[in-house]
Structure formats: structure tokens, C-alpha cells
Chain A
């Protein structure tokens, strides 16, 4: 039996060998399909929100690769980030856009990915049962909080609670999926839930919860962030296709950042099955360029760094890894320059303030 260490070394050696001889590997097979994934939604419809939602709904990739005879395959698993990690590890995916925490956990477990773009930010909302009397973050102490575990909300909760000097172990966490969260709130088994606008605001409209706290309107810690990653094997085998996929993704980010597209964006996001109205309110007053920025800037890196520290402290990641090696902005910089989009998005510093 070989030890894990030698096994990893061997695997790393094989991977390094493949990276070293891309020409040889590239010649072996022609790409017939590009497989992408984004976080799924409660209704199970194969659509998303944000840049990946635009990319999917406008079928930009399908058009880009039509002439090459390359098919595009989409997955929006309900298991969101953790399920995407499994698919990536199994070699069933080439690209994925998903939340920062499962992203880090996957890389920490050795899933061979590279971050080639950010996917933007979204506010996190805490919806509380009116009877639970939760008005401030500190009120959450000892309360039952529901969200889908292993997702970015794990980190969001921690960063929100730390503002009131609390940690995740000060609340009772219930690992529930969408529909079950609603049932639990209804029956009073759970006091609060954590989610993005489309889920929490929909429950507000039904009168089930009130927004006790949200990171909306500020780069407050706890907002969700995500990465667009590529499987290293795919990138090594198909550098040109990887660049074209990223270029198309950035085109989608650009579309999602133009104010004149705002109403169309809501229509696109509503394809996920969440009420359109929830997206309207979630995006209200926010600059689209802030929400859908693909930049791997100081803000993104600070968020990822906080995520890595958290996952290591929680033993979700057993060995820290080199973030600078994982986050590769060389291709992104090139693509943005090629498209002439250098001034579309403002880079932000670690605190989320615009620089330059």
C-alpha cells in the first residue's frame, strides 16, 4: 500500500509532466464538448444569475463554438458548490462558476483547478422569523440558523457574526436545502436563515421572515463572492479554447455590467424560477459594475484569503495552499485588454474601496 504522501507526489508528478508537454497532449484529442457548471437553484431549472446566468441564457458560448462543432453542456446542480467539486474531481466538468468557499475547499482537497476570473459579489441577507425577535447581529446568539452547509454562507455567517464578536459555534446551524428551509421557518423550528436576495426576499414577500441584517449597499464582510475556474487538465490540453471561453465569459460579465441591460438582466435571472421582483430589489441602487465585476483585484483576493483562513481554522481545508499560484490573472488581463474593457470595471482594494 502506498502512503498518501507518495501518492500525491506521484499524482503531482504526472500532472507536472502533462503541463510540461502540452503539445504532445493537445495532439491527442479534439474537444467535442465543453462542460460548464453554476450553482443550482431551488426550482432545479438549468439557469443561473450573475455573469454565468447571462452566459447561459444568451447562449453566447453555443454561438461562439457553433462553427467548430463543439457542444456546450450545462449543469446547475441543486447541491451547488459541494456537488460541483465532486463533478470537477471526477473529471466531469471543464469550467465552473461557484461560491468562494466550496471553491477553496475543493482546491484544498486537491481538485486541480485554476481561478481565471472572479464572478462578482452579491449581498447576503439574514431573514428572521418575526416572532424570533432578531433585530441585530448580536441577537443571533443561541438561535437556530438554517442554510445549505459547505457553501459560501458558511463563511458569510462567520464574517457577519464576528462583527458582534460571535462565531459560528454561538448559533445552532441547521443544514437545510431551499424548500426545507421554508418548511422549517414556517414550523418555527428555525429562527433565521441565510441566503441571497432571490431566496430571502421571496420569503419576505410571503410574510414568513423579515430582513434582520444584510450586507447590501456596502462591501461589508459577509457578502458572497465567487470564482470562475477551469480544470487544469482542460486548460493544459486546450489553451486556445480556454481563452475563448474566458473571452465569452467576460463578454457576459460586460453585458451584465451595462446599465441599459438592467431590465433584461432581471428577466434572465428570473429564468431560475425565483421571482423577478426579488432580483429587482436585490440589485436596487447597486452599480452593475460592482455586482458583476470579473476582476481578480485586491477585494477579491482579500475575500479569498479570509475564506482560506476560515476553512483552515474550521479544518475544512487541512493544508493551506498558495493562493497566488491558484489565482492566475494573466489570461484575464489579456482578454480584457483584447476586448478593450480596461475601463469598464474599477479595481477595488482589500476593504472594497475603489482604487485609481
Chain B
């Protein structure tokens, strides 16, 4: 291990274990720094290309604003509190939609996985309904639920439903049979079996489904906010377009991307924490 070389003689004499830990922490920090630096290569490249395009006037300045202006607008939106306010509205909607749709998807997936007749009779219909894109449902949903909060949350819920349904169903179907055999041999009671054998074995799959649901829900939210809304980050973006202030549009696009990425990253981290064993098993 290369970390050894960072061990100071003092640390070595004090406590080998402490030094080892410090070295591991340092190594991790360095790995993180490298990962971040590598991750920034492409965005910085895009930024450079963007600046160059503006400087060379490849597009009218009204269409492609300079990165500097977008940066200023971003801070302007932060300073007035507009960005935080709209973002909060959007996050509230996506959480509500995820809980409602994801929860139902989980229940549906588990029921289909556990009860065969339901899987045979009901599941094909539900899957077919879910495979019509959200945008396709929008005109109908608008007439059914109006254009209020209900519409947005239902549309996000619809989007979040399928990933979690599929994930929990597949998780249940594909988990290794040997777990059940071990549980049977140990003659574990039903509740214990569910708690320490079945649930942990499908959790990785469910958490992956949750990540997928969240990222899909976030995208659906932006879409519905652009079409019918009076608040939210998607609305702010649409308003920027109507007001012909493309710097607002660019600033919100970047925020939408960053927030989406952060949500996914946070879920991935908690997924690793909760079911790290499954990652290790694969690796």
C-alpha cells in the first residue's frame, strides 16, 4: 500500500493502528479529490467551449448568453431568494410524488411477487398503463385532475410507480434460493425470516429502483412544471424563456442538473451504507 509512505516516524511509534487509520483516511480523501477532479474535466471543457462560442459569436447573444452573465444571474436569483423558493416547491412535489407513487409501486411489486394469481391477471394491465409516457397521459390527467398540485403529484407518482414495482418484483423473484434453504434449515420463525433473510435480500434491488424512480420523477416534474404551473424550478425556466432571458434559462438548467445529480448521489451513498455488502459481493 502506497499510504505507508505517509506514515510519520512519530505516528508509527505512537500507535500503529492510529496511523493506519489516518493513512486510510488520507488515502480516501485523495481518492475523493481525484474523483472530483476527474469528474470536473468534462464540465470545464464544456465551459471552455461555451466561452469560446460566445466570444466567437457563433450564436446571437440573446440565444447563447455568456457564462459570466449566467453566473451573475444565478447569484441574482439566489440573492432575491427566488431560486430557493422555487426549488423548495419543486422538491416538495417530487418527495410527495415519490412517496405516493413509489410506496404504491413497492406494495404492487411485492404483491405481484408473492401472490401468483395477481401477477397473472393484474400485472400485465398495470405494466401496459405505466409504459405510456407521462407526457401521453398529460392531456387526460389535466382534464381529470385539473392543473393544480394534484396533477403534478399524480404525474410524478405515476412515473415513480413503475421503477419501484419492477424493482421489488424482480428483487423478490431473483434472490438466491439458498437463503431460503438456510432459513429453512435453521427453522427460523416467519417474522424473523422476513426480517433478517427476505427483506435484506431484496433491499439492494429496491434501493436501486428508488434511485431510478427519483431521477425519473425529477425529470417528469420539470416537464409538468413547464407545461402547467405557477411555481417551481421548471416554471422559472419557462418564464425565463418567455421573458427572453436565456441567462435565466441556462441558470435553471444547470440548477436542475445539479440538484438531480445531488439527489442521485445522496441516494447512492445511503444505498452503499445500507446495503454495502451487496456491492462488495459483486466486486
Contacts and interface: CB of A to CB of B under 8 A. Distances in A.
Interface of A: 1-4, 7-8, 11, 82, 85-86, 89-91, 102, 105-106, 109-111, 149-150, 172-176, 179-180, 183-184, 186-190, 316
Nearest to B231: A172
Interface of B: 51, 54-55, 57, 59-63, 66-69, 139, 142-143, 145-148, 227-230, 235, 238-239, 241-245
Contacts of A173: 230
22 contacts: A1-B68, A7-B54, A7-B61, A82-B242, A82-B243, A85-B62, A86-B244, A89-B244, A105-B244, A149-B242, A175-B228, A180-B142, A180-B227, A180-B228, A183-B143, A183-B147, A184-B147, A186-B143, A189-B146, A189-B147, A316-B243, A316-B245
Given A91-B60, A110-B62, A85 B244 contact: yes
Contact of B245 (A1, A7, A109, A180): A109
Nearest to B62: A89
Contacts of B63: 86, 89-90
Contact of A89 (B60, B66, B235, B242): B60
Contacts of A7: 54-55, 61, 66
Contacts, number: 98
A110 B147 contact: no
B62 A111 contact: yes
Contacts of B227: 180
Most buried by A among B54, B145, B241: B241
Contacts of B229: 174-175
A123 B55 CA distance: 45
B147 A175 contact: no
Contacts of B62: 85, 89, 106, 109-111
A187 B143 contact: yes
A11 B244 contact: no
Given A82-B241, A86-B63, A175-B242, 4 more contacts: A4-B68, A11-B57, A150-B242, A174-B229
A11, A89, A91, A179, most chain B CB atoms within 10 A: A89
B90 to A, nearest CB: 16
A143 to B, nearest CB: 12
Contact of A175 (B51, B61, B142, B239): B239
Contacts of A149: 238-239, 242
A102 B148 CA distance: 27
A188 B242 contact: no
A106 to B, nearest CB: 6
A187 B54 contact: no
Nearest to A314: B243
Contact of B147 (A82, A150, A187): A187
Instruction: Select the residue from B54, B66, B142, B238 with max chain A CB neighbours within 10 A.
Output: B142
B147 A1 contact: no
Contacts of B147: 174, 176, 180, 183-184, 187, 189-190
A3 B242 CA distance: 25
Nearest to B144: A187
Residue from B57, B143, B244 with most neighbouring chain A CB atoms (10 Å): B244
Nearest to A173: B230
Given A91-B60, A175-B229, A187-B147, A150 B243 contact: yes
Contacts of A172: 230
Contacts of B51: 1
A178 to B, nearest CB: 13
A184 B229 CA distance: 11
Contacts of A106: 62, 244
A3 to B, nearest CB: 7
Contacts of B68: 1, 3-4
B278 to A, nearest CB: 45
A326 B137 CA distance: 45
B61 A11 contact: yes
